[in-house]
Amino acid sequence: QVQVVESGGGVVQPGGSLTLSCAVSGNKFNVSDMGWYRQAPGKQRELVAMIESRGTCKYQDSVKGRFTLSRVDGENTVYLRMNSLKPEDTAVYYCAAKVFHVHPLFAQMTGISGTEAYWGQGTQVTVSS
């Protein structure tokens, strides 16, 4: 029943901006970490940015200072604001979310992860003049 839905992709010119959104629904327990990955043709999927449940954000060096993560809606929704886009940012962007399948407090107190990863369908971002 858990669904991860992405939106916001499109075609922009170099230097332009886009905002991607990722919403998790159908989860019984809280969402833990959420992250954005991207995969360009002929390339391996790579982590772009992630935000931990505590709010700590991590960014790939190539997007630092240009991309910004935010998390809202009871931490079930994450946004990726992408500024100063470059052609090398062109890729399919995937949202991934770790969702607790046990009560988070139980996981914390027992030392288990208690999460399962879910992936969105991907959204195409194309940066071209």
Give DSSP secondary structure letters for 63-97: GTTTEEEEEETTTTEEEEEE-S--GGG-EEEEEEE
Parallel, antiparallel, or unpaired for β 3-7 and 18-25? antiparallel
Tell me which DSSP letter residue 108 carries. Answer: H
Parallel, antiparallel, or unpaired for β 10-12 and 67-72? unpaired
For the chain, the farthest-separated pair of C-alpha atoms sits apart, in whole angstroms, at 53
Check residue 4 and give its pLDDT: 97
Give the pLDDT mean for 14-23: 98
Closest CA to 125 of 5, 27, 7: 7
Element (H, E) at 119: strand 115-119
Element (H, E) at 3: strand 3-7
| Tens digit of each residue's pLDDT (9 = 90 or more) over 103-129 | 999 999 999 999 999 999 999 999 999
Check residue 11 and give its pLDDT: 98
Contact yes or no for 74/7 (Cβ under 8 A): no
| Tens digit of each residue's pLDDT (9 = 90 or more) over 39-95 | 999 999 999 999 988 889 999 999 999 999 998 877 799 999 999 999 999 999 999
CB atoms within 10 A of CB 113: 11
Tell me which DSSP letter residue 112 carries. Answer: -
